Amino acid sequence: MQKREKAGKILEILKREFSVPQLSSITEDPFKVLVRTIISQSTAEVNTRRAYQNLSETFPITPEAMDKADLTELEKTLRVAGLYRNKAKVLKNVAKVILEKFNGSLDFVYSLPLSEARKNLMDLPGVGPKTADIVLLFCANRPTLPVDTHVNRVSKRLGLVLSEAGYEDVRKGLQELYSPEEYFSVHMLFIALGRNYCKALRPLHAVCPLRGLCPSAEF
């Protein structure tokens, strides 16, 4: 079976297995998405949610408020997330740069050419390609496919990309296999697969809906 055909079947099966939230239902202010994604780095979803909620109950999630926030107070709200001291510093730094360089607005994510908008985001302190791609896709529906730890792992186990591929190779490899309208679904469904079946340590091959298509399935 050709790789593209296999990629299509994988998506079809995952769409039957899991539901995908509507992109419009999670689209929001790019600064808020940026803050949430920074908090989520190396942190479980449940703790990211709690830390973000603590933060938003204490401060308005704006560059102005983050810049002025007391570092210790900021740390306190983020404690439930891992690396909270570092994340509090990153949030203050990133807010400062957005105020100084972009007049407090990330609206360029909607208007600049994709590569330029991506570069602007990745030039911010503490922002790597995954965070930039999440902001671009989730807020502005720009055609880029964020590769988080689940997307990376399952793409490799399924043989859609080479096992030694780095971030950019996985992103581009998946983008070639799917159409831009599918990037959001692929991102969300691969995460669902990784969380529910294709776990990092003990993948549930025997009950995985993709076992018939997967070269890594072991019975």
Residues 32-61 that bind ligand SF4 (CB under 6 A): none
Nearest CB to ligand SF4, comparing residues 20 and 217: 217
Cβ proximity of 210 and 158 under 8 Å: yes
Report the nearest approach of ligand SF4 to the CB of residue 207 (Å).
8
Nearest CB to ligand SF4, comparing residues 134 and 198: 198
Report the nearest approach of ligand SF4 to the CB of residue 1 (Å).
15
Nearest CB to ligand SF4, comparing residues 51 and 160: 160
List 30, 63, 146, 203, residue binding ligand SF4 (CB under 6 A): 203
Q: Which stretch binds ligand SF4 (CB under 6 A): 19-27, 80-88, 114-122, 210-218?
A: 210-218
Length of the chain, in residues: 219
Report the nearest approach of ligand SF4 to the CB of residue 150 (Å).
10
Best CA proximity match to 143, nearest among 106, 178, 183, 111: 183
How far is the C-alpha of 19 from the C-alpha of 188, rounded, in Å?
9
By the rule CB under 6 A, 217 interacts with ligand SF4: yes
By the rule CB under 6 A, 185 interacts with ligand SF4: no
Residues 6+ apart with CB under 8 A from 143: 114, 137, 175, 180, 183
Nearest CB to ligand SF4, comparing residues 49 and 199: 199
Report the nearest approach of ligand SF4 to the CB of residue 217 (Å).
4
By the rule CB under 6 A, 91 interacts with ligand SF4: no
How far is the C-alpha of 3 from the C-alpha of 1, rounded, in Å?
6
Cβ proximity of 75 and 59 under 8 Å: no
Nearest CB to ligand SF4, comparing residues 134 and 192: 192
Q: Build a one-symbol-per-residue string for 128-167: x at contacts with ligand SF4 by CB under 6 A, - elsewhere.
A: --------------------------x--xx---------
By the rule CB under 6 A, 190 interacts with ligand SF4: no
Cβ proximity of 165 and 183 under 8 Å: no
Contacts to ligand SF4 by CB under 6 A:
154, 157-158, 197-198, 203-205, 208, 210-211, 214, 216-217
